[in-house]
Amino acid sequence: MGKVTAKYQITIPPQIRKELGIVPGMTVDIKKEGNRYLLQVNTLEGIRTKWRGRFKDRISSDQYLENIRGSV
């Protein structure tokens, strides 16, 4: 059984996360069908599509963070 926090966040039990392939960064949607609610998991392909082409200039992630944050 899942748990709802004070901020109305839902904890998905580990066995369900594993079965559905849910990993950090994935998005899920809750849809109503009749008198039931369904959890719809957006696939990893959705995450890849979101980030595809972000690093076209082939810089390292450290260099990218330095570019957007400034050097320390």
Distance CA 9, CA 17 (A): 15
Strands 28-33 and 36-41: antiparallel
Q: What is the pLDDT along the chain (72 residues), one digit of tens a residue?
A: 778 899 998 888 899 888 888 887 778 889 999 999 998 887 766 666 666 666 666 777 788 788 888 776
- Identify the pLDDT of residue 50: 62
- Identify the pLDDT of residue 55: 61
How many alpha carbons lie under 13 Å from residue 46 in its C-beta half-sphere? 12
Domain-by-domain residue ranges, the chain? Answer: 3-69
Beta strands in the chain (DSSP E): 3-4, 10-11, 28-33, 36-41
